[in-house]
Amino acid sequence: MSLGKSVGWLSVCWTDRRFLPLALCATVVFLLDVVLPLGVASGVLHVAVVLLALRIASGRFVTATAVLCSGLTMLDMVFSPGPGGTEWWKVIVNRGLSILVIWVTAILGQQRNRAAEAERRHLTDLAHLSRVKTAECLAGALAHELNQPLTAIALQAEIVWRQLENQQLEHPDHTNSDPLQPALREIVDQSHRASGILRSLRCLVRRTESTRQAASVSEVIEESLRLIEPTAREAHVELRWRIGPQLPLVCVDRIQIEQVLLNLLQNAIDSLARQQPNDVDSSSQQESPIVEVSAKFDQPGWVRVTVCDNGPGITAENVGTVFEPFATTKTHGLGLGLAIGRSILEAHSGHLCFDRTATKTTFHMDLPTDNFTVA
Amino acid sequence: MSNPTILLVDDDAAVIRALESVGEWMKLPVRAFSSAESFLASDYLIAEGCLIIDIRLPGLSGLDLQNELRDRSCALPVIIISGHADVPLAVEAMTRGALTVLEKPFSLDQLMKHIRQAIELDRTRRESSLSRKLAADRLARLTDREREVVDLIAQGLTNKEIAAELKITVRAIEDRRSRLMRRLEVGSVAELIQTIERAAAQ
């Protein structure tokens, strides 16, 4: 990039309206700097301006501020008693330090902003995926549940219609069944139309594309743990993890798998959090609430990620409906999380299953390691 | 021989009632099961007719049931019905031996056509397995020597050639030949070969 161009985009920033308060602050610091003797490192105060810029925006905006502050720091030397003074070397070092601090602050701040931005985007992606998958699952469940009665309606109506038709053939003189036939035909047609609408709704929602690429299982787990950590802390649940050595790469849609894992973690934490209030008295005997995540690669071709909690577990009557849509024991939520989880895993040719003992509930997520042909 | 039956595995009462009406309309008995497990526990696995399975069931799924039926060598032709037949699921069902996959709601004609086809297929399968058994029984009646002659006839050899092969007279071969034709209850060489082929089928 030529010098002219860089000056060009810097000046674009300088004419930005948001730049005005920054310029004001920088001027205040500059005036202070002029008033105070040169030996005082008052130029360091420009850091405050840079920090302010980092709060307002990011990227070139911060760079422009840093350039301005460095310029003003140098400009201050014009008002000095002039080169050759006994304090001159101090002035040089002093200014150099100020500029160094300005740029270090700007660069580190930008890096932090970028990381925060990436994190925010990741969370947005997860939230978006969660919404899309919920809609998909809802449409699927609706289509299935409504297609049953529609099938029954269409078939029964069609049979009666045929019977009337036969009667008419047998007794052509009886014409009193005439008005019924078109009505029945209408019932049949409209049931098919209703299911057609359901089908197109499903197709519409189903258009979510998934991008699969090689991902490290341990990275996916670490990322999910990092995201769930604040929730666990708030619920006073201890998170433990044991990730086996040399986990292979898997070819997955990372966001989707993370969502399944997050959902399992959230369920585990919820079940532990619900149990706690009742057990305050007996907490001495009760084990402390723990959620444990582990990953193993001991079966050829399969990685198994396990989420285990020592909560109250799944009751016997709910065992059959764990993965059914709309089956939930929570007061909030649609009961779609595990249904979505299973469909995501199945789309990855994997499995989602669970087992339970008296003290532990364990969910297993099995991912194939050899599905790279999809990529 | 008993009537072919429409066997249905579906957990929805309304769908079951609708299929019962269809059975009544087609003048075929319908036996419904609300889960894969209850069907497997019944003695209808060896029944005649066809089996209609909903792909989504409580407990064992329709696809699991197909696997289980294959393991138990149940020969009933299977029609899969599904609330939402997406392509991968349909392919999966077909590779597991389903005759067809019908998406709900289906038209009466469509359903009846496939039920008829399935029952017809079941009938021909049973007949061919019956005739295979019959042919095998008949061949088992032969003595080793007669069996030897049968094999040579099947290879297309003439009486003379067989006589040369077995080092006996043509006369003896002719005797043996007419005797084994009687035993196998066949009137011509063509029928004889048919019997051998049937017995050897699968």
Task: Render pLDDT for A254-274 as a digit per residue (tens, 0 to 9).
Answer: 888 888 999 999 999 988 887
Looking at residue A351, what DSSP letter applies?
E
Contact A149 B14 (CB under 8 A): yes
How high does pLDDT run on average in chain B? 87
* Residue spans of beta strands (DSSP E) within B94-187: 100-103
Contact between A225 and A293 (Cβ < 8 Å): yes
- Band (A139; pLDDT cuts 50, 70, 90): confident
pLDDT of residue A6: 67
pLDDT of residue B78: 94
Instruction: In whole angstroms, give the CA distance from residue B66 to residue B63.
Output: 5
| A38-47, A308-317, A356-365, B4-13: the lowest-pLDDT one | A38-47
pLDDT digit string, tens, across residues A61-119: 888 888 888 888 888 777 766 666 667 777 788 888 888 999 999 999 989 888 888 88
Residue bearing tokens 């002719």: B174
Mutate one of B54, B84, B91 to test the A interface: name it (highest A CB count within 10 A): B84
pLDDT of residue A108: 92
Encoding tokens for residue B62? 């329709």
Residue bearing tokens 């039956």: B5
Residue bearing tokens 């674009």: A12
Chain A residues within an 8 Å CB radius of B28? none
ipTM of the complex: 0.71
Contact between A167 and A174 (Cβ < 8 Å): yes
Provide, for chain B, the percentages of residues in helix, strand and coil under a 3-state DSSP scheme, each rounded to the nearest 5: 60, 10, 30
Encoding tokens for residue A240? 């433990």
Amino acid at B140: A
pLDDT digit string, tens, across residues B164-178: 888 888 888 888 888
Chain B residues within 8 angstroms (CB to CB) of chain A:
12, 14-15, 17-19, 21-22, 25, 56, 58-59, 83-84, 104-108, 111
pLDDT digit string, tens, across residues B152-161: 888 888 888 8
- Band (A369; pLDDT cuts 50, 70, 90): confident
User: Least CA distance to B56: which residue of chain A?
Assistant: A144
Chain A nearest C-alpha distance from B15 (Å): 5
- Band (A283; pLDDT cuts 50, 70, 90): very low
Question: Does residue A280 have a pLDDT over 60?
Answer: no
Average pLDDT over residues B24-46: 91
pLDDT of residue A374: 40
Question: Does residue A229 have a pLDDT over 50?
Answer: yes
Question: Does residue A33 have a pLDDT over 90?
Answer: no
How high does pLDDT run on average in chain A? 81
Encoding tokens for residue A274? 């619900």
Average pLDDT over residues A26-55: 82
Closest CA to A69 of A119, A113, A16, A14: A14
Kindly report the pTM of this predicted structure.
0.58
Q: What whole-number percentage of chain A has pLDDT above 70?
A: 85
Average pLDDT over residues A352-360: 87
Residue bearing tokens 């700007």: A106
Average pLDDT over residues A5-12: 69
pLDDT of residue A177: 54
- The residues facing A351 across adjacent strands are A366
Q: Which of B21, B58, B111 is opposite residue A320, by nearest beta carbon?
A: B58
Sort A249 into a burial class: Cβ within 10 Å, 0-12 / 13-18 / 19+: middle
H-only helix segments in A276-314: none
- Cis upstream peptide for B105 (omega within 30°): yes
Average pLDDT over residues A131-150: 82
Q: What whole-number percentage of chain B has pLDDT above 90?
A: 33
Question: Does residue A16 have a pLDDT over 90?
Answer: no
Instruction: In whole angstroms, give the CA distance from residue B104 to residue B92.
Output: 18
Q: Which residues contact B114 (CB under 8 A, 6 or more apart)?
A: B79, B99, B100, B102
Instruction: In whole angstroms, give the CA distance from residue B148 to residue A364.
Output: 62
Q: How far apart are the first and last CA of chain B?
A: 24
Instruction: In whole angstroms, give the CA distance from residue A363 to residue A43.
Output: 59
pLDDT of residue A80: 64
Question: Does residue B85 have a pLDDT over 70?
Answer: no
State phi, psi for A255 to the nearest 5 degrees: -60, -40
pLDDT of residue B180: 83
User: Least CA distance to B15: which residue of chain A?
Assistant: A152
Contact between A201 and A139 (Cβ < 8 Å): yes
Mutate one of B20, B37, B104, B115 to test the A interface: name it (highest A CB count within 10 A): B104
pLDDT of residue A175: 59
Q: Which of B12, B84, B107 is opposite residue A158, by nearest beta carbon?
A: B107
pLDDT of residue A308: 92
pLDDT of residue A366: 92
Q: Which residues contact A76 (CB under 8 A, 6 or more apart)?
A: A30, A33, A34, A38, A43, A95
**How many Cα neighbours within 13 Å face the side chain of A10?**
15
Question: Does residue B77 have a pLDDT over 90?
Answer: yes
Q: Which residues contact A83 (CB under 8 A, 6 or more apart)?
A: none
Contact B14 A191 (CB under 8 A): no
Instruction: In whole angstroms, give the CA distance from residue B103 to residue B90.
Output: 10
pLDDT of residue B114: 94
pLDDT of residue B153: 84
Closest CA to A151 of B14, B8, B87, B28: B14
Q: Which of A145, A148, A159 is opposite residue B108, by nearest beta carbon?
A: A159
Instruction: In whole angstroms, give the CA distance from residue A137 to residue A263.
Output: 15
* Residue spans of beta strands (DSSP E) within chain A: 213-216, 238-243, 249-252, 290-299, 302-309, 351-356, 361-368
Question: Does residue A279 have a pLDDT over 60?
Answer: no
pLDDT digit string, tens, across residues A141-151: 887 788 889 99
Instruction: In whole angstroms, give the CA distance from residue A247 to residue A297.
Output: 6
Average pLDDT over residues A200-225: 79
Contact B106 A191 (CB under 8 A): no
Average pLDDT over residues B194-200: 80
Question: Does residue B79 have a pLDDT over 80?
Answer: yes
Chain B residues within an 8 Å CB radius of A374? none
- The residues facing A353 across adjacent strands are A364
The string of DSSP letters for A116-155 reads HHHHHHHHHHHHHHHHHHHHHHHHHHHHHHHHHHHHHHHH
pLDDT of residue B202: 55
Question: Does residue A373 have a pLDDT over 50?
Answer: no
Closest CA to A328 of A345, A346, A316, A314: A314
Question: Does residue A227 have a pLDDT over 80?
Answer: yes
Question: Does residue A278 have a pLDDT over 70?
Answer: no
CA A55, distance to chain mean position in Å, is: 24
pLDDT of residue B10: 92
Beta strands at A302-309 and A290-299: parallel, antiparallel or unpaired: antiparallel
pLDDT digit string, tens, across residues A325-348: 777 888 777 788 888 888 888 888
Instruction: In whole angstroms, give the CA distance from residue A10 to residue A7.
Output: 5
